[in-house]
Chains A and B, each alone.
Chain A
């Protein structure tokens, strides 16, 4: 097939995929944004296995007309973050459930359901919904995010106007075996404001989620998410962030299990003297595919970015890291760091990495590294020689491997909670 024929095939498949899906109703401006997204999607097409950034992660199940069935999983222990004082917002199979949620309010906080926001006339949302998603299509297309902008049925619009004491905790429950959820959150952290957003739970059999975050000058945004243990669920998520001057953006994701998880993060650092960190700890066992695709653009001076991704893999689990730091010509004194590492607990597992640096400024310090390896025999023996049983020693070294990523969580209680989950995951797999 020629290129043109391939493209046409892709577009036909995309048209077939969205046929019968209707754009949610809303205010005229919102409907126009959705229509624009749909048009963009129909002209770019959904990903195919031959696309450059989809070679290692098959998009088929994400493209399928119906969500593949995923068994609902019931954990025996209390979910992550449940011990925290938080504003809890629950979605069941992708639908907001007010009954079991806290009131949508808090000091220095405006929260509104997406459908409400897109039906009214809130000026900042007009300039935010789908805007970062659209901008992030260049140089690499992210069609699932565009699909999301067009069809998202629910989500939250959150604005922090000052320091928000309690974290906003988005809880996603999965109850139906074939649920197909599309959520879109729009977040704005005003100048000098400070907001923490937590996310946890599997959400649905198939989950497409977009989060657009605008971090204004001198603002701070912390994001910690735990992707649910429902092994059979599939998820494709995008975080888009614009980071202003002297601002802070930090995002950490823990993923334990999941046949397919694709987490894309796209950060645009536009203000001088800012910091943006993205980190992830993924643990996979068996039929597991986890993909972090990260793109950080430095478009301002003296900014620092870090990408820290660690994956623990066993029983044939597979993980992918595609990460890029782009430093624009005017982004002098950029400090960019990127590390991606796979720890293989057996010979069947696989870690694939594509680290990229693209630098157009001359006065920058950027480093990147990617490694894949097994547990260090020397360290293991050292621990055992001190009386630590092999299985405990292996777990300790595995957690040590993840430590650099976990350290990216600033809040001690949240970090503790996450660490506890990782320990639990390892314990359940004791031989």
Chain B
């Protein structure tokens, strides 16, 4: 499904290398977690994958479903099935959440040569999915993320993901800012999308989310690289001991 090969990325504005050879392979239907200390390059990886400006890929490739997506525009990557749930969802004054969702869904359908959803079908689907995430009608009417609480913004990201039905979902700290109940809702939302084919990359600092969304593989990112890969137990180890021992071990090797 996703193959990141030796990805090197620096900033466009300054000569600063952020990613220094990321390698990651995610198979169909798998859930991978990426953990790692602040500033290690997790969000940068997710931004580069989704095609945000400001980064320069100096080396490496990103293959999604056999296609090198680094050549594609962000919207083409989305239409190819990539979705990023932002660590910091963006507020858009003047665009209602509903318009935003409908525009996105229909743009992707159009890009894939499918017919646009009728207004009624769209409404029905949105309402059902919003309900399961406890997003009320008012939040759908309001401008995108404007005045939403931290947790509401994150639930809104999951709603977008549910509506767009991507092949590969990247969740960047979707658990941060969520209370216990919201964490459950969001996890249920994610798990509902697990169908054995769709793949997930879950970036998180906490085991708590991984209790709900069980990863197949856990990676530790440090200083722009994946430095250790293991099973779910790796996340538990981080939870109990922090990164110090782990990283010391990596440095030695």
Which of A14-22, A28-36, A189-197, A382-390 interfaces with chain B? A382-390
Could you tell me the distance between the alpha carbons of A260 and B157 in the complex, rounded to whole angstroms? 45
Q: Are A387 and B104 in contact (CB under 8 A)?
A: yes
Could you tell me the distance between the alpha carbons of A378 and B108 in the complex, rounded to whole angstroms? 20
Q: Are B107 and A387 in contact (CB under 8 A)?
A: yes
Could you tell me the distance between the alpha carbons of A187 and B160 in the complex, rounded to whole angstroms? 51
**Contact flags A390-401 to B (C-beta < 8 A → 1, else 0):** 101100110111
Known: A392-B103, A392-B107. A385 touches B74 (CB 8 A): yes
Nearest Cβ distance between residue B28 and chain A, in whole angstroms? 21
Per DSSP, chain A at the interface is helix
Could you tell me the distance between the alpha carbons of A382 and B91 in the complex, rounded to whole angstroms? 9
Which of B13-21, B30-38, B45-53, B215-223 interfaces with chain A? B45-53
| A379 contacts partner chain B, Cβ-Cβ < 8 Å | yes
The residues of B that contact A384 with a CB separation of less than 8 Å are: 51, 73-75, 78
Known: A377-B53, A382-B86, A392-B103. A387 touches B111 (CB 8 A): yes
Nearest Cβ distance between residue A57 and chain B, in whole angstroms? 28
The residues of A that contact B143 with a CB separation of less than 8 Å are: 400
| A404 contacts partner chain B, Cβ-Cβ < 8 Å | yes
**Contact flags B78-110 to A (C-beta < 8 A → 1, else 0):** 110001101001111111000110011001100
Could you tell me the distance between the alpha carbons of A396 and B95 in the complex, rounded to whole angstroms? 8
Q: Which bracket fits the contact residues of A?
A: 20 to 34
Known: A388-B75, A390-B73, A397-B92. A383 touches B50 (CB 8 A): no
| B164 contacts partner chain A, Cβ-Cβ < 8 Å | yes
Nearest Cβ distance between residue A378 and chain B, in whole angstroms? 5
| A381 contacts partner chain B, Cβ-Cβ < 8 Å | yes
Could you tell me the distance between the alpha carbons of A397 and B83 in the complex, rounded to whole angstroms? 21
Nearest residue, chain B, Cβ from A379: B92
The residues of B that contact A379 with a CB separation of less than 8 Å are: 90-92
Q: Are B103 and A388 in contact (CB under 8 A)?
A: yes
| A403 contacts partner chain B, Cβ-Cβ < 8 Å | yes
The residues of B that contact A402 with a CB separation of less than 8 Å are: 94
The residues of A that contact B93 with a CB separation of less than 8 Å are: 400, 403
Q: Are A396 and B51 in contact (CB under 8 A)?
A: no
Nearest residue, chain B, Cβ from A389: B75
B47-74: which residues lie under 8 A (CB-CB) from chain A? 50-53, 73-74
Q: Are A400 and B104 in contact (CB under 8 A)?
A: no
Q: Are A397 and B75 in contact (CB under 8 A)?
A: no
Could you tell me the distance between the alpha carbons of A383 and B104 in the complex, rounded to whole angstroms? 7
Q: How many A-B residue pairs have CB under 8 A?
A: 79
Q: Are B92 and A387 in contact (CB under 8 A)?
A: no
Q: Are A381 and B92 in contact (CB under 8 A)?
A: no
Nearest Cβ distance between residue A408 and chain B, in whole angstroms? 13
Q: Are A386 and B164 in contact (CB under 8 A)?
A: yes
The residues of B that contact A382 with a CB separation of less than 8 Å are: 86, 89-90, 92, 144
Q: Are B75 and A390 in contact (CB under 8 A)?
A: yes
The residues of A that contact B86 with a CB separation of less than 8 Å are: 382, 385
8 Å CB contact of A400 from B74, B78, B92:
B92
B134-183: which residues lie under 8 A (CB-CB) from chain A? 143-144, 160, 164
B204-249: which residues lie under 8 A (CB-CB) from chain A? none
Q: Are B94 and A400 in contact (CB under 8 A)?
A: yes
Nearest Cβ distance between residue A369 and chain B, in whole angstroms? 14
Could you tell me the distance between the alpha carbons of A400 and B97 in the complex, rounded to whole angstroms? 12
Q: Are A399 and B94 in contact (CB under 8 A)?
A: yes
The residues of A that contact B89 with a CB separation of less than 8 Å are: 382
Q: Are B84 and A404 in contact (CB under 8 A)?
A: no
Nearest residue, chain A, Cβ from B94: A400
The residues of A that contact B104 with a CB separation of less than 8 Å are: 383, 386-388
**Contact flags A86-116 to B (C-beta < 8 A → 1, else 0):** 0000000000000000000000000000000
Nearest Cβ distance between residue B104 and chain A, in whole angstroms? 4
The residues of A that contact B160 with a CB separation of less than 8 Å are: 386
The residues of A that contact B91 with a CB separation of less than 8 Å are: 379
8 Å CB contact of B53 from A381, A386, A393, A397:
A381
The residues of B that contact A388 with a CB separation of less than 8 Å are: 75, 103-104, 107
The residues of B that contact A401 with a CB separation of less than 8 Å are: 94
The residues of B that contact A377 with a CB separation of less than 8 Å are: 53
Nearest Cβ distance between residue A150 and chain B, in whole angstroms? 43
The residues of B that contact A378 with a CB separation of less than 8 Å are: 90
Could you tell me the distance between the alpha carbons of A396 and B143 in the complex, rounded to whole angstroms? 12
Nearest Cβ distance between residue A24 and chain B, in whole angstroms? 46
The residues of B that contact A404 with a CB separation of less than 8 Å are: 94
Could you tell me the distance between the alpha carbons of A387 and B80 in the complex, rounded to whole angstroms? 9
Could you tell me the distance between the alpha carbons of A255 and B189 in the complex, rounded to whole angstroms? 46
Nearest residue, chain A, Cβ from B112: A387
The residues of A that contact B53 with a CB separation of less than 8 Å are: 377, 381
The residues of B that contact A381 with a CB separation of less than 8 Å are: 52-53, 74, 90
Q: Are A385 and B107 in contact (CB under 8 A)?
A: no
Could you tell me the distance between the alpha carbons of A381 and B84 in the complex, rounded to whole angstroms? 11
The residues of B that contact A376 with a CB separation of less than 8 Å are: 92
Could you tell me the distance between the alpha carbons of A377 and B92 in the complex, rounded to whole angstroms? 11
The residues of B that contact A387 with a CB separation of less than 8 Å are: 75, 78-79, 104, 107-108, 111, 164
Could you tell me the distance between the alpha carbons of A382 and B52 in the complex, rounded to whole angstroms? 9
Q: Are A385 and B51 in contact (CB under 8 A)?
A: yes
The 5 lowest CB-CB distance pairs between A and B, nearest first, are: A400-B94, A387-B78, A386-B104, A403-B94, A387-B108
| Chain B interface residues (CB < 8 Å from chain A) | 50-53, 73-75, 77-79, 83-84, 86, 89-95, 99-100, 103-104, 107-108, 111, 143-144, 160, 164
Can you name 7 A-B residue pairings with CB atoms under 8 Å?
A: A376-B92, A385-B50, A385-B75, A387-B108, A389-B75, A390-B73, A397-B92
